Amino acid sequence: MKRVIVGLSGGVDSSVAAYLLKAQGYEVIGLFMKNWHDDSVTISDECPWLEDSNDAMLVADKLGIPFQTVDLSVQYKERIVDYMFNEYEKGRTPNPDVLCNREIKFDVFMDIALELGADYVATGHYCRKGTIEKDGKQIHQLLAGADDNKDQSYFLCQLSQQQLAKALFPIGELQKPEVRAIAKAQGLITAEKKDSQGLCFIGKVRLPEFLQQQLKPKEGHIVEVADTFEMYSQVLPQFDSKENELEFLSKKPIYHLTDGTVVGKHQGAHYFTKGQRKGLGVGGTVEPLFVIDTDVKENIIYTGQGKQHPGLYRNVLFVTNEELHWVREDLALKDGETMSVMARIRYRQNLEKATLYKVNSGMYVEFENKQSAITEGQFVAWYLEDELLGSGVIS
Ligand SMILES: Nc1ncnc2c1ncn2[C@@H]1O[C@H](COP(=O)(O)OP(=O)(O)OP(=O)(O)O)[C@@H](O)[C@H]1O
């Protein structure tokens, strides 16, 4: 009998994942991980981890499976929390959920599971795994979940073939209402529990409060840039190669204090992210202000009025070789090669038509349509139909 360790979070999805595996005849063990140490960064009294671990235990009890808790707070602090602060400090916007899967759930947690004799690690993610044969080798595919509204393949975009080989996603073929119905029919106490917010570690705490614990406030200007501001010189230069054109288009414009009007003050440019609307505290404009860029060195936030402000839009982005990852290693582009794909630059964004251009120093992603708020530090992930092929950090 194959042994599976399920990451039981105390939510409905992993509860049902555990139930399904047991029904399929696996030997199932539930494992809850504690990510927070009470004296590391505080995340308010509202943090529900105790309640969650209790729910996970009750689910395991109901299903009649063994249950354990592991404390991964040290690794979590090193690999996720510190990285978060570092990235924000540099003016980039990290994605802790993607990282948590690569570094914790499918690494530290997976190693513990394998030591406990598991053949597989299962989670309650809405995605599917496919396996194909190519040149006599087994290749694992990361496929979108069947529920379009819930697909979480994006969060797993940094997984490797080795990690996928040991992963199972038991609820990937189901729709969320079906998952809830199963939980209800089985009398699992998580059946009606609200979905978690996505930010796997922040719990109920708000991001600005979290960041303020380590990043010191520093007053600076908020500048409004007019939508007539020339982002690029009016006449595009003549490009002698596609690569030069892509390089030019992938560069964000560099704004200066004098490129707009000072309209307010902020408490630290590193608390803000591109595309952000809330928290600027500047009223009286015809349309709301959006952050179009942050300059953490000069501590200035550049904003523009309205969602359509040209400063928010670009259609080319770049990923360095160091931050380029192929789930499908066998399809990795070589220098000079291109590929037509569908891509997204954030979770829940619709897939958009794009072309990948591999060059010596990294890879360009050129979208057919301009994208709003392409943000440094976030992940771009590319797909062919419902298969996620690879991903990279936007640089
Ligand atoms: N504290 C935890 N301990 C063990 N596994 C976890 C924990 N948090 C998340 N997981 C695993 O990762 C999966 C995805 O986590 P996420 O935080 O996105 O929750 P979710 O999609 O709301 O799922 P759920 O309803 O199971 O909480 C979970 O289904 C679970 O298998």
Whether residue 37 is predicted with pLDDT greater than 90 in this model: the reply is no
Q: How far apart are CA 365 and CA 338, in angstroms?
A: 10
Kindly list the distances between the CA atom of residue 366 and the CA atoms of 16, 231, 351, in Å, as whole numbers in the listed order: 40, 18, 13
35 CA: nearest ligand 1 atom: 1
Q: How far apart are CA 233 and CA 254, in angstroms?
A: 12
Q: How far apart are CA 260 and CA 62, in angstroms?
A: 62
φ and ψ at 121, to 5 degrees? Answer: -115, 130
With a 6 Å cutoff on the Cβ, whether 124 touches ligand 1 is: yes
Q: Which residues contact 244 (CB under 8 A, 6 or more apart)?
A: none
pLDDT value at residue 204: 47
Q: Is 97 annotated as a binding residue?
A: no
Q: How far apart are CA 199 and CA 207, in angstroms?
A: 9
Given the cut 0.85, state whether the ipTM is greater than it: yes
Q: How far apart are CA 210 and CA 225, in angstroms?
A: 29
Mutate to test the pocket of ligand 1, among 104, 123, 194, 201 (most ligand atoms within 8 A of CB): 123
Per-residue burial over 33-55, b if 16 or more Cβ lie within 10 Å, else e, is bbbbeeeebebeeebebeebbeb
pLDDT value at residue 201: 52
pLDDT value at residue 38: 61
Neighbours of 340 (CB within 10 A): 11
Residue-wise pLDDT for 263-276, tens only, equals 999 999 988 998 99
Whether residue 173 is predicted with pLDDT greater than 90 in this model: the reply is yes
Helix (H) or strand (E) holding 100: helix 96-100
pLDDT value at residue 216: 86
With a 6 Å cutoff on the Cβ, whether 113 touches ligand 1 is: no
Least confident of 2-6, 61-65, 84-88: 84-88
Q: What percent of the chain has pLDDT over 70?
A: 92
Give the bridge partners for 251, in sequence order: none
Q: What percent of the chain has pLDDT over 90?
A: 74
Work out the angle at residue 68's Cα, subtended by the Cα atoms of residues 63 and 69, and round it to the nearest 5 degrees: 130
